[in-house]
């Protein structure tokens, strides 16, 4: 595939930062004598050693030599050891066929990035021109909307298993959250993923954002992920995708981001234990399953007949539709700490009866009290509206 056709005008015009290239070379090949770059002398860094303890009790020690390295600037795409670990992770989880492609064919490439929002903005900026058509799930994560809307693209709300023409042009890309959509809590089925993958024959990109892959509450099937372009975890992100596109992200980073190696190095141990350690992974999933069930129990106790909701299959959110109230914004923002649905809508001016609740932090007792308060507010609001309607009817008779 010719990936150059997908690049934005800005991305296509970008050239390598020569100073950053020479610095990256020094990071990759310590034998190179470095007298060209602007790296500070590590002998005068303020920290010498560090240690921290993981959830499973493992203690990680960072000695003086390693501390000098991790406080220094890193190569743009990430330190080699961490990239190698991430490649092994992707192969063990997804085994993408692109791993065996040539670079020109779109060989799988990985780049470390500072977080999810940074990932989103850079991916969209290398791909999207004003007027391009972008398919987007609705409701959608507000960070996605804030990254896309200023680019002047045409955001099209369509079901994620369909590809439709718009303005007589095919869309340039589809953005999807396959597991635990924020805010809806929904996940794509295996059949839907296969249909989405087949739409690539229309010659457009699928951008997959999968922060809740390891928070699939009911079941994790590591062989269902058919497309991986964007993925991130914790507050450190990484991009996986065709080398021609990842190379463009790296060019963008050369002009926008000076990276440190501290977070990647210290995170290797966390990722290893958090993602691949069976005990801790099971413990995390059990926690979120218990939390979700507690929130569902509170909703069933207080909101039955007042609201509707689906059971989340991944992530940490419950998407609730309030009955008989067309615009929930005022009572939610003033009285109950829930997120009104407008913030997740492509057209935020539209009134909505939806709210998002999170079960990641509150205790079961707090969930129970919150939904009791919400139920009382709903009843009070509906009662006021009914009284207002009855009064208006008397005025016209």
pLDDT digits (tens, 9 = 90+) for 8-31: 998 988 887 766 666 666 666 666
Can you give the pLDDT at residue 305? 93
- Say if CB 340 and CB 328 are below 8 A apart: yes
Mean of pLDDT values over 354-381: 92
Would you give the end-to-end CA distance of the chain in angstroms? 70
Can you give the pLDDT at residue 200? 66
Higher-confidence position of 317 and 164: 317
Q: Show Cβ contacts of residue 393 under 8 Å, excluding neighbours closer than 6 positions.
A: none
Does the pLDDT of residue 289 top 60, yes or no?
yes
Q: Of the spans 66-70, 291-295, 332-336, which averages the highest pLDDT?
A: 291-295
| Phi, psi values for residue 57, rounded to 5° | 95, -10
- Of 151, 255, 148, 256, the closest CA to residue 207 belongs to 148
Higher-confidence position of 206 and 132: 132
Integer angstrom CA distances of residue 238 from 210, 345, 378: 11, 27, 42
Q: Of the spans 63-72, 260-269, 329-338, which averages the highest pLDDT?
A: 63-72
Strand order in the sheet with 230-233: 108-113, 236-242, 230-233
pLDDT tens-digit map of 158-194: 654 444 444 446 788 889 888 888 899 888 888 888 8
Higher-confidence position of 368 and 161: 368
pTM: 0.79
Q: How confident is the model at residue 355 (pLDDT cuts 50, 70, 90)?
A: very high
- Of 254, 279, 305, the closest CA to residue 74 belongs to 254
pLDDT tens-digit map of 378-395: 888 887 755 554 433 444
- Say if CB 244 and CB 237 are below 8 A apart: no
Mean of pLDDT values over 280-294: 82
Integer angstrom CA distances of residue 193 from 198, 310, 329, 370: 9, 20, 34, 36
Can you give the pLDDT at residue 126? 93
Can you give the pLDDT at residue 374? 92
The DSSP code for 4 is G
Q: Of the spans 159-173, 211-225, 302-316, which averages the highest pLDDT?
A: 302-316
Can you give the pLDDT at residue 83? 85
Mean of pLDDT values over 94-119: 86
Does the pLDDT of residue 227 top 60, yes or no?
no
Can you give the pLDDT at residue 101? 92
Mean of pLDDT values over 346-366: 89
Q: How confident is the model at residue 3 (pLDDT cuts 50, 70, 90)?
A: confident
Mean of pLDDT values over 220-239: 49
Q: Which of 31-45, 182-196, 291-305, 367-381 has the lowest mean pLDDT?
A: 31-45
Q: Show Cβ contacts of residue 55 under 8 Å, excluding neighbours closer than 6 positions.
A: 273, 274, 280, 283
Q: For the stretch 245-256, what's the b/e string if a residue is b when 16 or more beta carbons lie within 10 angstroms of its beta carbon?
A: bbbbbbbbbbee
pLDDT tens-digit map of 75-97: 788 778 788 888 888 888 888 88
Can you give the pLDDT at residue 334? 61
- Say if CB 57 and CB 113 are below 8 A apart: no
Does the pLDDT of residue 108 top 70, yes or no?
yes
The domains of the chain, with CATH numbers, are: 4-10+76-259 (3.40.640.10), 283-396 (3.90.1150.10)
């Amino acid at each position: 595939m010719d990936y150059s056709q997908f690049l934005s005008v800005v991305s296509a015009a970008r050239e390598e930062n020569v100073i950053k290239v020479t610095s990256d070379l020094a990071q990759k090949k310590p034998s190179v004598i470095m007298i060209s770059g602007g790296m500070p002398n590590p002998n005068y860094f303020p920290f010498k050693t560090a240690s921290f303890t993981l959830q499973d009790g493992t203690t990680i020690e960072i000695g003086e030599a390693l501390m000098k390295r991790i406080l220094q600037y890193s190569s743009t795409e990430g330190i080699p050891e961490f990239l190698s670990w991430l490649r092994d992770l992707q192969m063990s989880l997804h085994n993408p066929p692109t791993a065996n492609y040539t670079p020109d064919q779109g060989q799988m490439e990985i780049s470390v990035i500072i977080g999810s929002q940074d990932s989103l903005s850079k991916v969209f900026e290398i791909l999207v021109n004003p007027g391009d058509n972008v398919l987007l799930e609705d409701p959608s994560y507000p960070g996605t909307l804030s990254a896309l809307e200023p680019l002047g693209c045409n955001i099209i709300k369509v079901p994620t298993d369909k590809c439709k023409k718009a303005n007589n042009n095919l869309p340039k890309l589809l953005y999807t959250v396959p597991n635990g959509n924020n805010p809806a809590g929904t996940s794509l089925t295996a059949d839907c993923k296969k249909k989405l993958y087949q739409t690539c024959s229309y010659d457009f990109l699928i951008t997959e954002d999968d922060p809740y892959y390891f928070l699939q509450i009911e079941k994790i099937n590591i062989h269902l992920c058919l497309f991986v372009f964007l993925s991130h975890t914790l507050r450190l992100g990484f991009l996986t995708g065709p080398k021609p596109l990842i190379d463009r992200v790296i060019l963008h980073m050369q002009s926008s981001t000076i990276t440190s190696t501290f977070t990647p190095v210290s995170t290797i141990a966390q990722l290893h234990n958090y993602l691949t350690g069976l005990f801790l992974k099971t413990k995390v999933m059990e926690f979120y399953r218990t939390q979700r069930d507690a929130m569902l129990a509170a909703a069933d106790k207080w909101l039955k007949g007042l609201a509707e909701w689906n059971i989340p299959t991944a992530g940490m959110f419950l998407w609730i539709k309030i009955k008989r109230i067309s615009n929930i914004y005022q009572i939610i923002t003033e009285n109950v700490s829930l997120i009104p649905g407008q913030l997740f809508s492509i057209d935020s001016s539209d009134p909505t009866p939806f709210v998002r609740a999170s079960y990641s932090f509150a205790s079961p007792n707090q969930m129970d009290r919150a939904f009791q308060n919400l139920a009382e507010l709903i009843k009070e609001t509906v009662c006021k509206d009914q009284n207002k309607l009855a009064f208006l009817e008397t005025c016209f008779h």
